[in-house]
Structure formats: structure tokens, C-alpha cells
A = this chain, B = another copy of it.
Amino acid sequence: MNWRTHTDYRVYLVTDRDLCLGRSLEDVTLAAVRGGAGAVQLREKHASSREFLALAKALVSRLQPLGVPVIVNDRADIALAAGAAGLHVGQSDLPPEDARRLMGPDAIVGLSVETREELLDAERFDIDYVGLSPIFATPTKTDTLEPWGLDGLRWARAHSPLRLVAIGGVHGDNAADVVEAGAHSLAVVSEICSSPDPENAARRLLAAFR
């Protein structure tokens, strides 16, 4: 499996255990994959390293045999130790060059960009996608800047050759607009994690690409 060329990013689940309504991350994630999620980012802000690694290993063993890459947020060591397919870094995380060097040439590396300058600058890195964050205002991430909006997304599509992952405030009702504005991928947290039916939530997002 060559993750860099064969990953289906259209519906990209970013995890948040606190939002899973008491269900396990594995259950929610597997349901989302049944509904069409093609990539999963494991994000843990509070877990110890050992707990984070155990979660990553569990997801890797369940998802990657299904052709769905696990992309670890921020921690290249956790990604490497778990055998995860990729790493996602933000602007305060490891610089993309270091991320690529540690992860090797075959891993997925993604980068969050919050401004037009960061988007244009991202072209110089060997990365697989940029996460435009946030598209809309959202309570999930509190440390982000001005939303891109649909106009910003159109601008990004017109000015960057990179794969654009739209994240932040994306849900079933605006998904078609986000795709129409230029997103290659819809990344969601609560839309799937907090859905009473994660499989159907993923399926609805995937339908926005038709």
C-alpha cells in the first residue's frame, strides 16, 4: 500500500475522544470508515505518551488493513512507534522538513495553514496536503485565526497546487458548498465523533463529492 498515492482523502475524520459520547474511538472510527471515511487523524492533547501510543497502535491495527491510513497529530515518535501511515503537523509543531525527515519518504505528511501566507509558503515542503483551518468559525479549536470562508477557499484553490483539506465548521449541510468552492477533502471532528450515527454522517459528507 502506497499511502501517499492511494489515500482517499474525501472524508477525513479527525478524532476527539472527548466528543465521542462515551463510545470508543475504535467503534466510532470503524463506523465512519464503513460510511466512507478514507483517512483518520488521531489527535490527543491530554493523553500521556504511553496512552497515546497504545491508542495509535490500536487504530493502526484496525484501520490500516482496511486501506485507511492513521495520521498521527504532532507526535512523529508516536507515529513511528505505532507504524502509522502519516503525521499531521501544525504551525507550532515540528517544522515540515523535520517531520518529513523523521517520517521518511513514504509517509503521509500534512500541514495546517491558517493564512494565505502560510498556504503559499507550504509549497516549498514535501507534504501531501494542507489543512485549511478553520473554514468556518467553530468551537472545536479555540486557538485559530480568521476563518477562511468559502471565498478564501476559492482563493486557495486558485493560488495553490496543493491538496486542500477543509477543516473547521464543516458539516453535512454545507459540505457541498465547501466542495464546490474547491476543497479536495472534508475534514471533520464533531460532525462524525458526536453524531448518533457516525457511519451515516460520513456517508452524507462523501455524497457532497457527487
Residues in A lying within 8 Å of B, measured CB to CB: 48-51, 53, 74-78, 80-81, 89, 91-95, 98, 101-102
Residues of B near A89 (CB, < 8 A) are 49
| Nearest CB on B from A97, distance (A) | 9
Q: Which listed residue, B49, B80, B93, B94, touches A74 by the CB 8 Å rule? A: B49
With A77-B78, A81-B101 known, 15 other A-B pairs at CB within 8 A are A48-B92, A48-B93, A49-B75, A49-B92, A49-B94, A50-B92, A50-B93, A53-B94, A53-B98, A76-B77, A76-B81, A77-B102, A78-B94, A81-B94, A81-B102
Q: In the complex the two chains form, what is the Cα distance from A6 to B53 in whole Å? A: 32
**A interface: dominant SS:** helix
Q: How many Å from the CB of A86 to the closest CB on chain B?
A: 14
Assembled-state Cα–Cα distance A113/B101 (Å): 32
User: How far apart sit A50 and B53, CA to CA, in the bound complex (Å)?
Assistant: 20
Q: Which residues in B have their C-beta under 8 angstroms from that of A74?
A: 49
**Chain B neighbourhood of A77, CB < 8 A:** 75-78, 80, 94, 102
Which B residues lie within 8 Å of A93 (CB)?
A: 48-50
Q: Nearest CB to that of A98 among chain B residues? A: B81
- Return A99 CB to nearest CB of chain B, in Å: 8
Residues of B close to A94: CB separation below 8 A: 49-50, 53, 77-78, 81
Closest to A101 in B: B81
- 3 closest Cβ pairs, A-B complex: A76-B77, A48-B92, A77-B77
Q: Which of A74, A78, A89, A94 has the largest count of B CB atoms less than 10 A from its CB?
A: A94
A98 to B80, CA, bound (A): 9
Chain B residues within 8 Å of A92, by CB: 48-51
> By CB atoms of chain B within 10 A, which of A81, A95, A101 has the most?
A81
